[in-house]
Amino acid sequence: MQKLSNRLDYFTESVIRKMTRIANDCGAVNLSQGFPDFDPPRELIGSLKEAAEKGPHQYEVTWGSKEFREKLAKKQERFMGIPINPDENIVVTCGSTEAMMVAMMSVCNPGDKVVVFSPFYENYTADAILAGAEPMYVPLVPPEFNFDKEVLRQAFEQRPKALILCNPSNPVGKVFTREELIYISELAKEYDTYVITDEVYEHIIFKPNKHTYLSSLPGMFERTICCSSLSKTYSITGWRLGYVIASKEVIDNCKKVHDFLTVGAAAPLQKAACAGLDFEQEYYDELNNTYERKKKLFLDGLDEIGLKYFDPEGAYYVLVDISEFGWDNDYEFCKWMAKEIGVAAVPGSSFFREDVNNYIRFHFAKKDETLIEAINRLKKLKNS
C-alpha cells in the first residue's frame, strides 16, 4: 500500500483535547480544554428554541446569513472602531478553528514561511503545515513572556508571508500592548507581511489592560486577517460559530476556501446567535467582571497552595510553574495529577516550541464551585 499523506508526520493529535478524554476517564475536574461548564445567556437558549421551531433548517448563504453578518458588522465596528461591510469584509465559519485554517489557506502558498510566537495554541502549527507553509518560531520569553524586538526583526528578515498573533494570548494570558502591536505592524508593513490574528478572547481583558485590534492600527486593515468567534464571548463553544474579518481582497479568497471546506456554519445556530450580537455594552462589562472574579478566586487558591504562575492579563488561562515538583516530563505529570489529585491541566510542552517542561496550563472558565473543588484537590499536591 502507498504511504498515507506525509503532512501528518509533522504534528500529533491535539494534546488539549486528549487531556479532556483523560479527565473524563478518571473523573478529574477538567481544567484542561478551555470551555465553560455554565450555561450561555438565557436569551440565547430562548432564541435557539425558537430557531428549532421556526428555522432556518437549510443552507444559509455560504459565507454567513445576511442577518448574522449585519449584526456582527455592527458589533465589531463598535469595538474595533473601523468600518466593516457585512457583504465584503466578513466570512462566517465553523468556529475560529476553521477561520484560522481558511485564513492560512487564503494567504499562504506551499513553502511560505509563517512566524508563530511560542508558546502558542497548538492548532497554528497544524494549520501552517496543512496549508503547506513552514512555521518559524519567535519566543515569548518566560517569566514575563515578552518578545525580543531584535529576534522578531530577524524573523521578518527571512521574508515570512504571515505572522500569527494570538491576542489575548493562549496559553499565556498576555495582552499585547499598543506599543508592541505598533512595533509588529511597522515590521509587517516594512517586510510586506500579512498578520493572521486569533482574537477569540477579545472580550476577556483584565484591568488595567486594554485590547487593541491590530486591524485598527494605521495601514493594517488590508494586511490583517482577524479571526475570532462567539464561543468564548457567549459561552457557546459547541455552537462552532466563528468568523474572519478582513479586506475585500482577502475575504474574496476566504469565501472560496470556506465554501469548499464546509459550505457554511449551522443555519439555525447563526439565527439563534443573533440574539447575542444584539447585546448592549452591559453584557460585555458583566462578562469581564465574571472572569475577573473567577480569576481572583482561582489565583487566590493557587497562592494559598503556594504555586507560582504568570498572572494573566486576559483570556481564561493560567500557566503554573511546576519546577518544584521535580518531574522532567510535564505530560506524565498531568496524567498523574488527573489520576491521583483529580484535576486535569494541559502540559506546557504542547504549547512551547522550545524544550520547556516546567509549566502546566489551567483554565478558569468554570462555575465557582468547580474552581473551589479543584483548589481543594490541588492542595494535596504539596503533600504528595
Residues that bind ligand GLN (CB under 6 A): 16-17, 33-34, 97, 121, 170
DSSP characters over 339-376 = IIISEE-EEGGGT-SSS--SEEEEE--S-HHHHHHHHH
Nearer to ligand GLN, 365 or 378 (CB): 365
Displacement of CA 329 from its chain's centroid (Å): 25
- Residue 33 or 233 having the CB closest to ligand GLN: 33
Cα separation of 90 and 103, whole Å? 12
In the complex, what is the shortest distance from the CB of residue 200 to ligand GLN, in angstroms, rounded to a whole number?
7
Residue nearest to ligand GLN (CB): 34
- Give Cβ neighbours of residue 207 (< 8 Å, ≥ 6 apart): 292
Q: By C-beta, is 121 or 124 nearer to ligand GLN?
A: 121
Q: How far is the CB of 344 from ligand GLN (least distance, A)?
A: 11
Q: Are 29 and 377 in contact (CB under 8 A)?
A: yes
* Cα gap 337→342, rounded to integer Å: 6
Question: Toward ligand GLN, which CB reaches closer, 71 or 232?
Answer: 232
CB 170 within 8 A of CB 317: yes
Nearer to ligand GLN, 112 or 198 (CB): 198
The CB-of-23 to ligand GLN minimum distance in angstroms stands at 12
Q: Which is nearer to ligand GLN, 21 or 379 (CB)?
A: 21
**Smallest gap from residue 105 Cβ to ligand GLN (A):** 18
Cell readout for 272 is 439563534
User: Across the strands, what pairs with 118?
Assistant: 139
Detail the DSSP E strand segments found in the chain.
Answer: 29-30, 90-93, 113-118, 134-139, 162-166, 194-198, 224-229, 242-245, 308-309, 317-321, 343-344, 346-347, 359-363
How far apart are CB 311 and ligand GLN at their closest, in Å? 19
State the minimum distance, in angstroms, from the CB of residue 97 to ligand GLN.
Answer: 6
